[in-house]
Chain A
């Protein structure tokens, strides 16, 4: 089976069978990262460019490692050190990169739809590494891989996503994916951080943390995105933490075998207390490991052989 697409822009239009294909492939790729020689020759001669207009450690490094373990050549461009600071537009930058014949371009941008613009413009495969508050498909895929590994399936699980849902591309991509895979998704946050269209996405909405995480199989805490907050969306971080932080008291409401996830970077003491982030239920670092495998799978599945 093949992916039916040139690009990976979002989870919204990704059918369940293709999600399964990506996760199955990723599961097989995990073993490569445990070898003495952590490299296979599959993408020899392919060039992968990461084009990041927003800060990132995890995602950019993860893509680069994934590409290198498949023997692709990688070039990293970050906006702060590129001609973007001289005023070059996104489209001009992309057109110029295209002229150097890369095979896959991975883009992160603060504007929703940036990856879609490149995908329409360029022949290369485009992977969306996060576009504004819109989608972050590879994060959702690595989250789904982690849940499937830990729980065997996503079908029927209660999965609580807690935080600033409105500004979170991680939440949006996960909601699309997890509901497709049959999970019961509960979102929770302060009222002004829950978008109005939420019930149409097939999730239940809670404004109270205790109700949201009660009997949950998975609790996914979102990073409070201080850089995306407009002024005065909430009175203070401390008040937010009082109501919406995962801690050793409220986690007892979830199932005994609950797993705790976080896309990183963690604001310790804001959305999650340190003893939970580092505790036995936390799978935060396994998410990072799975991120490399999922990205390897995507690079493999999107490469070559297309007419």
Chain B
């Protein structure tokens, strides 16, 4: 049987996101020109939760969007299967905006490279920051996160999955042998 270990439970995830929300506000000195963008699919609900938290803390609504990076992947035509394309939703120009991109797990960094290239096609942001729930190491590109829930050194043959549930009580991060 595959070994499976829960490394973060619902409360842990909630606390991490609360801290990251405060860190984002602290680093950006508030919500002026702030935009949260979730990367499909793992970053979508995390981005939504961060948006909720930041809006609640500051008492003001902030803008958010979703990004599918598939068409910018460096292996999009070389993998055997054509990956499914989902909708991107960024209905505003990103010129002069402070963009925080959100993903669940930071691994090789290739997804983030693709995400940054994609965002540049929506304008010229003032800056781009990266928030991730888990940083598992093994970078293949010079990329780092600005806001990290937890750093989890992992081996390459392990799988790390972030499972978020709709009512949030059974959220967990698990690490499995691949």
Q: Mark B56-87, 1 if CB is under 8 A from A, else 0.
A: 00000000000010011000111111101111
Q: Is the CB of A42 within 8 A of B84?
A: no
Closest CB in chain A relative to B165 CB, distance in Å: 26
A100 within 8 A of B: no
Q: Is the CB of A305 within 8 A of B71?
A: no
Chain A residue with the shortest CB-CB distance to B74 = A41
Neighbouring A residues of B72 by C-beta, 8 Å? 40-42
**Which B residues have a C-beta under 8 Å from some C-beta of A?**
68, 71-72, 76-82, 84-89, 93, 117-118, 121-123
Contact partner of A305 (CB less than 8 A), chosen from B82, B86, B89, B122, is B82
**Which A residues have a C-beta under 8 Å from some C-beta of B?**
1-3, 24-25, 27-29, 31-32, 35-37, 39-43, 70, 297, 300-301, 303-305, 307
Whole-angstrom CA separation of A307 from B81 in the bound complex: 11
Q: Is the CB of A42 within 8 A of B71?
A: yes
Whole-angstrom CA separation of A301 from B71 in the bound complex: 12
Neighbouring B residues of A28 by C-beta, 8 Å? 68, 85-88
Chain B residue with the shortest CB-CB distance to A45 = B77
Closest CB in chain B relative to A66 CB, distance in Å: 13
Q: Is the CB of A305 within 8 A of B81?
A: yes
Chain B residue with the shortest CB-CB distance to A29 = B85
Q: Is the CB of A304 within 8 A of B71?
A: no
Q: Is the CB of B77 within 8 A of A304?
A: yes
Q: Is the CB of B117 within 8 A of A31?
A: no
Chain B residue with the shortest CB-CB distance to A103 = B77
Whole-angstrom CA separation of A41 from B79 in the bound complex: 16
Neighbouring B residues of A39 by C-beta, 8 Å? 121
Q: Is the CB of A2 within 8 A of B121?
A: no
Neighbouring A residues of B86 by C-beta, 8 Å? 28
Whole-angstrom CA separation of A39 from B72 in the bound complex: 11
A42 and B121 in contact, given A2-B82, A27-B87, A29-B85 (Cβ under 8 angstroms): no
Chain B residue with the shortest CB-CB distance to A43 = B77
Chain A residue with the shortest CB-CB distance to B123 = A36
A300 and B82 in contact, given A36-B121, A36-B122 (Cβ under 8 angstroms): yes
Neighbouring A residues of B71 by C-beta, 8 Å? 32, 40-42, 70, 300
Closest CB in chain B relative to A285 CB, distance in Å: 21
A42 and B77 in contact, given A36-B93, A37-B121 (Cβ under 8 angstroms): yes
Q: Is the CB of B87 within 8 A of A35?
A: no
Neighbouring A residues of B121 by C-beta, 8 Å? 35-37, 39-40
Closest CB in chain B relative to A247 CB, distance in Å: 38
Closest CB in chain B relative to A20 CB, distance in Å: 11
Q: Is the CB of A25 within 8 A of B122?
A: no
Could you list 16 examples of A-B contacts with CB < 8 Å?
A24-B84, A28-B68, A28-B87, A31-B87, A31-B88, A36-B121, A37-B121, A37-B122, A40-B71, A41-B117, A42-B77, A70-B71, A303-B82, A305-B78, A305-B82, A307-B80
Contact partner of B79 (CB less than 8 A), chosen from A3, A36, A43, A305, is A305
Q: Is the CB of B68 within 8 A of A303?
A: no
Neighbouring B residues of A307 by C-beta, 8 Å? 80
The winner among B88, B118, B122 for most chain A CB atoms within 10 A is B88
